[in-house]
């Protein structure tokens, strides 16, 4: 099982040690609330870009604040535990900012990996990653899966049964 380090700033010395050992560090981020096959494929694709995969989760407050919802379905500690259970994930952390820019600039992973709902051109953190010399990787399969669609299907199935 991977290690959960709640405060992303505590990853800085770990990343420095990994770089010293010649390891390539990959970071991906998101809410990762209701896990579906698209998430699994994205995580596997991210891990394939390097040696060590860090998953940075939006903390509960940032989900409420920036996505303008009542918050994620699963609380952050449970989402972290689920992420840590994936064999391809090495570290799990949290961030609270509206984008991953501040965290990326602080940690400076070699690769910032995102799913196919983005492109290298429209990635919100693009300028930050390029400024510090990182690489952007678009990973996973075509964006044909979403937590929202999964919830809608579950609601439809529930209506059919009642």
What pLDDT digit, counting tens, does each position of 78-106 carry?
Answer: 999 999 999 999 999 999 998 999 999 99
- Give CA separation, 72 vs 77, 152, 160, in Å: 11, 16, 26
The answer on pLDDT for 65 being more than 90 is no
pTM of the prediction? 0.88
Closest CA to 83 of 15, 34, 156, 16: 34
Instruction: Supply the pLDDT for residue 98.
Output: 84
Q: Is the pLDDT of residue 30 over 60?
A: yes
What is the pLDDT at residue 67? Answer: 67
131-154 average pLDDT score: 77
74: tokens are: 């699963």
- Domains parsed from the chain with CATH numbers: 3-161 (3.40.50.620)
Which pLDDT belongs to residue 113? Answer: 98
């Amino acid at each position: 099982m991977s290690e959960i380090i709640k405060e992303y700033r505590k990853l800085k010395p770990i990343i420095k040690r990994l770089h010293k050992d010649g390891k390539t560090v990959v970071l991906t981020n998101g809410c990762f609330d209701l896990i579906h096959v698209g998430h699994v494929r994205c995580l596997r694709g991210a891990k394939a870009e390097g040696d060590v995969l860090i998953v940075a989760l939006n903390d509960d407050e940032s989900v409420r604040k920036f996505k303008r919802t009542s918050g994620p379905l699963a609380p952050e500690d449970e989402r972290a535990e689920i992420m840590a259970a994936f064999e391809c994930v090495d570290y799990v952390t949290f961030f609270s900012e509206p984008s991953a820019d501040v965290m990326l600039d602080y940690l400076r992973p070699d690769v910032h990996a995102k799913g196919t709902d983005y492109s290298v051109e429209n990635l919100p953190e693009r300028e930050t990653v390029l400024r510090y010399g990182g690489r952007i990787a678009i990973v996973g399969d075509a964006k044909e899966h979403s937590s929202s669609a999964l919830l809608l299907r579950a609601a439809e199935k529930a209506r059919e049964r009642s």
